[in-house]
Amino acid sequence: MNLFENDKPEIYEVQTTADGPIGELPLTDEILRHRPSGDLFGWTQDAAMGWQPAQLNRDEYLILSTMGGLRAEDGSPIALGYHTGHWELGLLVKAAANHIRDKSGLPFAGYVSDPCDGRSQGTSGMFDSLAWRNDAAIVFRRLIRSLPTRKGVVGIATCDKGHPAMMMALAAMKDLPVVLVPGGVTLPPTRGEDAGKIQTIGARYSHGLISLQEAAELGCRACATPGGGCQFFGTAATSQVVGEALGLSVPHSALAPSGQEIWIDAARRSVEALMLQKKLGLNAGDIVTDKSIRNAMVVHAACGGSTNLLLHIPAIAHAAKLARPTVEDWTDVNRQTPRLVSVLPNGPMDHPTVRFFLAGGVPEVCLHLRDLGLIDGTAMTAIGKPLDEVLDQWKTSDRRTRLRDRLLEADGVDPDTVIFSPQNARDRGLTGTLVFPSGNLAPDGSVVKATTIDPSLLDENRVFKFRGAARVFASESSAIAAIKGQSESPVKPGEVIVLAGCGPIGTGMEETYQLTSALKHLPWGKQCPLLTDARFSGVSTGACIGHIGPEALSGGPIGKVIDGDILEIEVDLPNVKGKINLIGSNGAVHDAAWGEQALLSRRMNAELAPVDNLPDDTRLWSILQGLSGGTWGGCVYDHESLSKLLASKL
């Protein structure tokens, strides 16, 4: 290949000047004398990009999104995105921009594309995942401030980190109208597996549970439509629900099926809401408040949300300069709030997220929660009305009736078996999703998605009790090899897998879904609980206890467990409490008090260390978040804490 030869002579016909746009900027004496030079120069650039100069003196609205990839007009890929969640977001950007134009506004658009936790499972890409959320929120905020003339912001996002990052950015804009457009969900295949189960094909194939042909075919069709977050109620879906519960999204927009008209309509409704906020003088600070944070926690509990939102909701509160929820706050909310939603992976019926949307979504859940007195109906919403007024309208709306009827017509599913009334939830034995175990291995707390523990392992009081010998791993790769039977000493049923050194300092607090998904879909996997200072995907299942604090590399006792230690686990679903304790070693069983003393006398596992290829950016993030409240504080940077610490060292 000759780098400097080309058979197209027209490439050398280089133009060196141009006539420039035709028309005149709508300048006035007042504008020229008093507006900043940046405003005037901005109009020059707007005209250069093709906007009609005479129409420049309009209210400007900024549309930020996490869109990724490059689609042709027919939807075919020119360059792929990282995931389906952001693949079709450009359609929402276009719909929002056109509606701003129709309303005589001037739209701007900016983008910060996001990674995919599913794509990076088991890879070094996972080391950047959680830290990326903070970086993206910073860039979003900088982009908002860098357009000083914007009158409001539309945020369009979906998926595990992009959507939380957008919420953090919008919540920080306390003096600006904002609205959040959720990116929706993909549909499940007519025949095949959902995007959660499909991530286990490697483990199942390794154990001879599926053939190579089956793996290839199932993997091809798991995502049945090209856009939207996953079909299960994992972190992406939970984040959309939380965004609506916070009041940032217009009512009944979370979990709409991507690409469909009802999804596109949410972008137009969101623009209407943003302009109404401006007219009413409402800002993000009126929407994201202490009461809306509490409402979001309650809705999270009622829906059985992902444990990752325990990291994101405190981060949103911090961005809004509100009190961050504590472990005690989470425990209190989950103890009071019944679970009302049956959706993948929580059961008892494995409904995909689109059915949750058709059954009524967030407004339907909130109707029940209001009847129980668990939510604050005075909280303001994105449409400029308090939640109580929204719910009153929802209850008698044509939209509610027609979509619930559509669910019954299309799938033969009664919407009341997707979103239960409190009485029906009690009759079906639905219990709260999250339990927060403590004990000598988790003095700062931990969390388990308790409703995904196999029911056959619970006693008559719905309590999971387990005692077993520890199998300690210092890396996720060594743990998955032992689970797949590819190591010299495979994991055996009845052992407790302990994965330590994978918190923020060790690996950026990687998500360990390949471990939990493998255990779910292996016949003996339910007999192996997992303890870790890492985190889990929202679709993780089983007796998997994460966020154990302090993390091992901060001196946490989980880093002192050795192979053969006798560990005791108890998860009490009805009472939202539990414990994880070292109670013995070398075959001798003692008690938790003995274990506490034993841990004090031990040194840290010598194999534990930050991974060699942990990016410097993530190392810096891990230090800063550790000094700012750590995992249970939302893994954020808190400038006040950091400033005080630095001042004390001077």
pLDDT at 121: 84
| Cα gap 477→202, rounded to integer Å | 13
Residue 269: which of 180, 333, 161, 149 has the closest Cα? Answer: 180
pLDDT at 6: 83
pTM: 0.93
| Cα gap 114→478, rounded to integer Å | 28
The letter for the amino acid at 543 is A
pLDDT at 1: 65
Residue 134: which of 112, 149, 118 has the closest Cα? Answer: 112
Strands 77-79 and 434-438 come out as unpaired
- Classify residue 634 by its DSSP letter: T
CB 84 within 8 Å of CB 223: yes
Strands 150-157 and 544-549 come out as unpaired
3-state secondary structure 13-82: CCCCCCCCCCCCCCCCHHHHHHCCHHHHHHHHHHHHCCCCHHHCCCCEEEEEECCCCEECCCCCEEECCC
- Condensed to tens digits (0 to 9), the pLDDT of residues 286-342 reads 999 999 999 999 999 999 999 999 999 999 999 999 999 999 999 999 999 999 999
- Residue 148: partners with Cβ closer than 8 Å, 6 or more residues away: 36, 38, 39
| Cα gap 538→396, rounded to integer Å | 33
The letter for the amino acid at 568 is E
| Cα gap 444→315, rounded to integer Å | 18
Query: Distance between the two ends of the chain, CA-based, in angstroms?
Result: 60
pLDDT at 318: 98
DSSP symbols for 529-569: -EEESSB--TT--SSEEEEEES-GGGT-GGGG--TT-EEEE
Q: For Cα atoms 590, 594, 598, give the angle at the middle one, nearest 5 degrees.
A: 120
Phi, psi (degrees; rounded to nearest 5) at 472: -95, 135
CB 511 within 8 Å of CB 126: yes
- Condensed to tens digits (0 to 9), the pLDDT of residues 503-526 reads 999 999 998 888 887 787 788 888
How would CATH label the architecture of 434-601?
Answer: 3-Layer(bba) Sandwich (3.50)
Hey, which residues are catalytic here?
Answer: 537
DSSP symbols for 366-420: HHHHHHTT-S-TTSB-TTSSBHHHHHHHHHT-HHHHHHHHHHHHHH---GGGTB-
What are the tokens at 577? 């409490």
CB 585 within 8 Å of CB 564: yes
pLDDT at 191: 79
- Residue 281: partners with Cβ closer than 8 Å, 6 or more residues away: none
CB 287 within 8 Å of CB 247: yes
Phi, psi (degrees; rounded to nearest 5) at 529: -65, 160
3-state secondary structure 263-282: HHHHHHHHHHHHHHHHHHCC
CB atoms within 10 A of CB 288: 29
Residue ranges of the chain with per-residue pLDDT less than 50: none
Q: Where are the domains of the chain?
A: 58-188+224-422, 189-223, 434-601, 620-648
